[in-house]
Amino acid sequence: AQSVAQPEDQVNVAEGNPLTVKCTYSVSGNPYLFWYVQYPNRGLQFLLKYITGDNLVKGSYGFEAEFNKSQTSFHLKKPSALVSDSALYFCAVRDAKDNFNKFYFGSGTKLNVKP
């Protein structure tokens, strides 16, 4: 069965430091992977995706993520965190074998960036 795990409920970093938000997945076919950010009382906003090709993908607001097939991971990274990056982050996976386009989401990781 398809699933996504975000092992950390919360990540705390100081402004200017690098950040990593972890995500691992399980699918039967090839994965399509996505990261979303959610600010309070708002819907989810798309950050970046991995479909195929280069394992390192770059997205909005300076975020990037690295696909690692052997570790079934897709960790979100940013070289230098900003206070405004504080939000809830969700990893999502779609199974390429899934004809109905269903996305599975992790439980979310709250990122706190301290000044």
Partner 1 sequence: GAGVSQTPSNKVTEKGKYVELRCDPISGHTALYWYRQSLGQGPEFLIYFQGTGAADDSGLPNDRFFAVRPEGSVSTLKIQRTERGDSAVYLCASSFGTDNSPLHFGNGTRLTVT
Examine residue 106 and tell whether it contacts partner 1 (CB under 8 A).
yes
Are the CB atoms for 17 and 67 separated by under 8 Å? no
User: What span, in angstroms and rounded, lies between the C-alpha atoms of 28 and 104?
Assistant: 13
φ/ψ of 26, rounded to 5, equals: -145, 120
Nearest to 89 by CA among 52, 51, 61: 61
Which region among 19-27, 34-42, 60-68, 71-79 touches partner 1 (by CB under 8 A)? 34-42
Q: Which is nearer to partner 1, 12 or 45 (CB)?
A: 45
Q: Which of residues 36-95 bind partner 1 (CB under 8 A)?
A: 36, 41-46, 49, 51, 90, 92
Residues that bind partner 1 (CB under 8 A): 4, 6, 32, 34, 36, 41-46, 49, 51, 90, 92, 96, 100-108
